[in-house]
Structures are given as C-alpha cells and as structure tokens.
C-alpha cells in the first residue's frame, strides 16, 4: 500500500505580493498539519489576475524562474515540511513570457517546469496578450510522494491533456486555476460545468484529480470586474467529488488515496488496454479530417 494525501486550496489575491505569498504559505501549513503531502495552490496567486486587461506594463510582473520570489520562498517551505508544491508563476524566458508551474519536491529541489499549452483569449481572459503557448509539452514528475501530472487552468478543458499525462505515467492530476464570472455573459455560472469536465477525466483516466481556484472579486485597470467562484475540489479515481471548498471561503481540503489500489483498479478497468491509437488520427488535425500523404 502506497498512501498519499492530497490538498486543494483557495484564496483571494491582492496587489501585495508579499501578503499573497504569506497567505499561500498559511494554507500550505494548514494542509500539511492535516497530513497533506502534495499541496496545490491556485494559478498565478502572487498577484490579481492581471489578464483582465491588455496592458504592456503588466509584462514587468514576469521573472525568470531562478529569480521568482514565490519559487525561492516555497522551496524552503517544501524542505521544512516535506511536501511537494507545484507553484504557478508568470515566467520570463529570454524575449518570451509563459504561464508556468514550477514543481518543487519534498526536499526543496526544483524538478522542472511545465508551461501552459492552451492559452485562452476571451473577454476578461486575455492571456494571449501575455503568454506564448507552452513549449514543454505535457510532463510528469516522480516526486517523493507520487508521480504527478500538472496542467494549468484552460488545459483542464481538453481531455487530451489528462490522457497524455496519464500515458506518461501520472498517478495524480493537478490543475491550478483562475476562473470565475464571464464579463461578456454575466448571467453565466460555469462552476458546475468546470467541475464536471474534470470529474469526467478523473474517471476516464482512473486517477485522482485536484483543482485549486481563487476566490473574491477583482477589478481590472480598465473598469472590468470578475468574481472568482472558488469551488476548489478533489475527485477520486471514479470521478466522485470527495470535497469542495465552496464559493467564498479561503482554506485547504485534503483527501487520502491508496495509489497501489488505484493502479490495480486502473489496470482492471481496461481503458488503457483497449485504446486504439491507430484510429485517433482526427485528433491530430484542427478540423477532424485525417489527411494522408499525397492527397486530401
């Protein structure tokens, strides 16, 4: 039996970066005190969600991974507590900018980074203005407590994200997130749709999934406003939602899993045995038309 305890968190974010890091650390410590070994913080928690606006000055928020205050800070926290921490940051790499997660192992070592693959562009979510599409590809990491796969927010809506990480050997899927109201459709509440999409992928890949969102209302620099709906949650390997943090409260949730038992369930269920990659050619196109060499 290999047991692992996972934690989802949620928090509100301000323009006080030090205060955000301190609030995130408090959540990490709360989760670790409850036994968590892998603890997920929300997407881009160092600042408000600046992608509401399209302002060049916000590019100055980006730093190289080696210089990022949150990464350096949480390396020490991870080492002290013996926990794994995927840390979501705004990365500058040469002339480019990425929405990135840095994977910190339980000894404080930086195992590597994943750069967000799917970049949204809609009212309130103007990420294409800031981020290049990630060039790392989907990745997994063998941490002290489990093999983890980490996607970022919009990645979670694409089943290929989850399946690719599962095929690479992930035992747990994690998604830091910043999602809430839609400025162009204020009557729309997609929180249930958001959860069900990921619950389905947890069930399809037969592995636990953690999603951590932010909460609170944030006002953009150009008069826009977004309210983040929280509802951070943990789903089990059948897609059953085990816990939900609700809409408004900051906090940490935990759930414990037997990874060996889940691996046995996954093998028994047969969805990986019965895959037909030879039939999945349309997934390699934009329009679903499988083109053969030499003609349409």
127 is catalytic: no
Distance between first and last Cα of the chain: 52
51 is catalytic: no
- Which candidate in 25, 43, 171, 218 is catalytic? 43
Order of all β-strands in the sheet with 85-93: 85-93, 96-104, 110-115
As a whole number of angstroms, the distance between CA 232 and CA 252 comes to 9
- Which candidate in 13, 25, 153, 171 is catalytic? 153
As a whole number of angstroms, the distance between CA 233 and CA 149 comes to 17
- Which candidate in 116, 127, 171, 218 is catalytic? 116
**Spatial contact of 48 and 14, defined as CB atoms under 8 Å apart:** yes
153 is catalytic: yes
Closest CA to 88 of 105, 67, 57, 65: 65
How far CA 224 is from CA of 186, 219, 281, in Å, comes to 12, 6, 41
Overall size of the chain counted in residues: 296
Helix H or strand E segment including 77: helix 69-81
Closest CA to 231 of 256, 248, 255, 206: 248
Write out the catalytic residue numbers.
43, 116, 153
């Amino acid at each position: 039996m290999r047991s692992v305890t996972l934690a989802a968190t949620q928090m509100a974010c301000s323009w006080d970066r030090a205060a955000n890091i301190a609030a995130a650390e408090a959540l990490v410590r709360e989760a670790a005190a409850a036994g968590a070994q892998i603890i997920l913080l929300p997407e881009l928690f160092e600042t408000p969600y600046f992608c509401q606006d399209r302002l060049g000055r916000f590019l100055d928020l980006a730093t190289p991974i080696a210089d990022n205050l949150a990464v350096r800070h949480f390396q020490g926290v991870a080492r002290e507590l013996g926990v794994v921490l995927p840390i979501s940051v705004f990365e500058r790499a040469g002339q480019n900018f990425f929405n990135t997660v840095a994977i910190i192992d339980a000894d404080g070592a930086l195992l590597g980074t994943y750069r967000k693959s799917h970049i949204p562009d809609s009212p309130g979510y103007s990420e294409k203005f800031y981020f290049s599409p990630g060039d790392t590809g989907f990745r997994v990491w063998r941490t002290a407590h489990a093999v983890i796969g980490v996607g970022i927010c919009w990645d979670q809506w694409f089943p290929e994200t989850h399946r690719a990480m599962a095929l690479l050997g992930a035992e747990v899927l994690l998604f830091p997130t910043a999602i809430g109201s839609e400025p162009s459709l204020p009557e729309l509440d997609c929180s249930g749709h958001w959860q069900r999409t990921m619950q389905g992928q947890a069930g399809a890949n037969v592995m636990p999934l953690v999603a951590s969102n932010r909460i609170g209302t944030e006002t953009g620099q150009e008069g826009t406003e977004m309210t983040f709906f929280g509802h951070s949650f943990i789903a089990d390997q059948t897609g059953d939602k085990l816990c939900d943090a609700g809409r408004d409260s900051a906090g940490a949730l935990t759930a414990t899993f037997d990874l060996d038992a889940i691996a046995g369930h996954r093998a028994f269920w047969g969805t990986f045995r019965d895959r037909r990659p030879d039939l999945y050619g349309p997934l390699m196109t934009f329009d679903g038309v499988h083109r053969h060499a030499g003609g349409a």
